[in-house]
Structure 1
């Protein structure tokens, strides 16, 4: 009986591993290639060479871009250089990009920016919240944007035991935000095992000076997050599950799920067109090329637009797609008055007029 039990357990274990391997192969489809969908009036932003992972644009047309992310398992063209925040004024006829200076007293050498979100107070002061990974930890940095000096004044570093493996952020008010946690574990081996087993242990957090809590769970890898124009709904991208969760904000800041929009691509960051309410998503059509980077056969880029988000049948369209010959590993797309910015994890950024 002892040997039979061992053999039974071994067989069950091998069957489970086989099933998870097949599921893993299906999720990380290595054969899917994109059909090109490109705008005629696009050009790469030459000053950005090491990524443009997240983008946020103010109602005034000032765009902030995080660059230089170093992330486990991802390529980096400048692994020894600190990250930067760039700015563009999209009201200019030929927008120029500028790296923003950061005030002294902040550890600029270890700056590793990831998701970003802006907030404008009643006095029209602009604040930039940045997910930072100094030494591969996770913090949220608060900066005040000084427009005349075109610089960032560092105000505060937020740390908390729940703010681990943070990916993206959306600010609701002063020191009040939702954030996604894209991995439950922090060690590289356990992250790989977590992905392989599809544990769905990642979450969305709510942070305020008075309360920090988990408000939504059950994601394979919670990634991009944004808010609807009416501030009633939160949209969360689950990159490995290839879907977007539509969630309603409750009075106590908890989130309740309304629906899931299933897609055929790995969804990264999300933005919302403030005029139409459409979701724009930067996506990875072939994740295996991303994790096994080959400059001769690079990962492609894909941008989806989701219209009528809250309806029974949202309309999903591919608004940009490239096989990597122009843009590699797109993460985010943001529309402002017929102008489109597309960012990437480690590559360049694309500027288009629509």
Structure 2
């Protein structure tokens, strides 16, 4: 009798896990199509626009050429023909579209595959530094720091950062000239297909959040199922992390020593990727994957449909900003425009929507 009861309990636990996994992967979700106004594909950015970040004066940096996805038989999608690039888009002149940024300096240009990016603007000198997660060919993740030369519209390499806890980098956010928080998407990195499958389907929460400061890297929080995008509030008081697999936004309070304390979770009921923050309002703009199982099929074969979604989160008043959070869907796409959105960057009622390995979209928010 006892063994039978134990058997039924285990069976129920397995069934609950399977149903939860199917829910998280979007098997019960219907994807409709709607745009916030006129949207178009930005020509020239064809092999991904995984992350986008915008300066205070409307210049958007775009990372492109993420290694490791797509048809293995297609030589155009593999090194050395696939090259990582940074593009620049001017929101003030959207008709000029995106242009590739020249990269110079002493770094491994041949093995440069950018993913997450973050911009640090020095309020005193006006200097702009771009921090870039580099999915290096050796599988030793690293962070590249560049200085942006506005006169020549080029990026000059300043430093490469490698550390023991920088092992499965997905995104980062700069909070100082050489200080940044980062997310490790996975715990295991080799072999990658097996590691990804294990952590996606097993329910293991082994993702981490780290801090690099004063030349040292360290894990400061753990226990997340595929932590992804990361950003900070305009006043620097709060840290935001997208928990990709559980469909949540984790909100942290930052300490004076850069420690973090989680204060709230917001359920988004989708798979959130990168987070961009409106400098003026503090609103969060999040690129999401509404149907994860379709997205995985798209990564295996780019011809397969991939779904896209953009959410905007607006916080409450200053006295209780996290009590009445307004979550609105800005865009949903079934693959007609773009496939697999990973980021949405807003400026002056206009928006760029990037993708993991597909194209880049520009939208005017006339109907939102």
Same fold by TM-score greater than 0.5: yes
Distance in 2, Cα, partners of 1:157 & 1:297: 36
For residue 24 of structure 1, the aligned residue among 12, 21, 26 is: 21
Structure 2 CA distance for partners of 1:232 and 1:127, relative to 1, 3 Å: same
Deviations 1:82-103 (A, max 9, x none): 1100001212262331101111
Structure 2 CA distance for partners of 1:258 and 1:104, relative to 1, 3 Å: closer
State the match for 1:251 in structure 2. 256
For residue 327 of structure 1, the aligned residue among 338, 360, 367 is: 338
Query: Number of matched residues?
Result: 350
State the match for 2:108 in structure 1. 107
Distance in 2, Cα, partners of 1:103 & 1:11: 63
Distance in 2, Cα, partners of 1:167 & 1:73: 18
Shift of 1:311: 2.9
State the match for 1:79 in structure 2. 78
Shift of 1:72: 5.6
For residue 185 of structure 1, the aligned residue among 174, 183, 188 is: 188
Structure 2 CA distance for partners of 1:74 and 1:24, relative to 1, 3 Å: farther
State the match for 1:301 in structure 2. 308
Distance in 2, Cα, partners of 1:133 & 1:342: 21
The answer to whether the Cα contact below 8 Å between 2:24 and 2:292 also exists between their aligned partners in 1 is no
Could you tell which deviates more after superposition, 205-214 or 66-75? 66-75
The answer to whether the Cα contact below 8 Å between 2:24 and 2:270 also exists between their aligned partners in 1 is no
For residue 175 of structure 2, the aligned residue among 154, 159, 172 is: 172
**TM score, norm. by length of structure 2:** 0.88
Shift of 1:161: 0.2
The answer to whether the Cα contact below 8 Å between 2:166 and 2:217 also exists between their aligned partners in 1 is no
Shift of 1:260: 0.5
State the match for 1:67 in structure 2. 64
For residue 345 of structure 1, the aligned residue among 356, 359, 368 is: 356
Ranges in structure 1 where 5+ consecutive residues have no aligned partner: none
5 Å-filtered alignment, 1:1-354, equals 19-71=16-68, 78-80=77-79, 81-92=82-93, 94-121=95-122, 122-135=124-137, 136-187=139-190, 188=192, 189-293=194-298, 297-308=304-315, 310-354=321-365
Distance in 2, Cα, partners of 1:308 & 1:252: 25
Structure 2 CA distance for partners of 1:105 and 1:295, relative to 1, 3 Å: closer
The answer to whether the Cα contact below 8 Å between 1:49 and 1:347 also exists between their aligned partners in 2 is yes
Shift of 1:180: 0.7
The answer to whether the Cα contact below 8 Å between 2:68 and 2:78 also exists between their aligned partners in 1 is no
Structure 2 CA distance for partners of 1:246 and 1:67, relative to 1, 3 Å: same
The answer to whether the Cα contact below 8 Å between 2:253 and 2:260 also exists between their aligned partners in 1 is yes
- What CA RMSD, in Å, does the superposition of the two structures yield over aligned residues? 2.4
Deviations 1:137-174 (A, max 9, x none): 21000111122222111111100000110100100111
Shift of 1:41: 2.0
Could you tell which deviates more after superposition, 138-147 or 286-295? 286-295
Ranges in structure 2 where 5+ consecutive residues have no aligned partner: none
